[in-house]
Amino acid sequence: RTYHARSGDWLKSKRYIHRIDTVPRKGSTTVCVPLPASGAYAITVQHDVNGNRDTDMSIDGAGVSNNPKLGTILGLVPRPPSLDKARFTAGEGITRMTIAIQYL
């Protein structure tokens, strides 16, 4: 999911700009994410390992723009990174980035 880099939008239900679904391949998967204009954004990626369209914390992976470490609360509940750690600036044209998937 792609978000405007605003605290009122970050990780809020139905506040994302768009969602892109794709089938991952072994190794790496390349996705082109269209943005409405240059500016500040943040991206989240989820690997739904079993394809059930639900978040299964024990097996699914996740990643965030700028690759901040994903934490947990008491080792059980995932804690997403702050917007400041995920924010990036997209310019005119293509902005390339690599987002690493982390498994807790």
**C-alpha–C-alpha distance, residues 91 and 82, integer Å:** 22
What residues contact 3, with CB distance under 8 A and at least 6 apart?
9, 10, 11, 15, 16, 17, 41, 42, 43, 44
Q: pLDDT tens for residues 58-79?
A: 778 889 999 999 887 766 667 8
Q: pLDDT tens for residues 3-22?
A: 999 999 999 999 999 999 88
Stated pTM of the model? 0.87
SS3 category, 86: helix
Q: 74 vs 45, which has greater pLDDT?
A: 45
> Taking all residues of the chain, what is their mean pLDDT, rounded to a whole number?
88
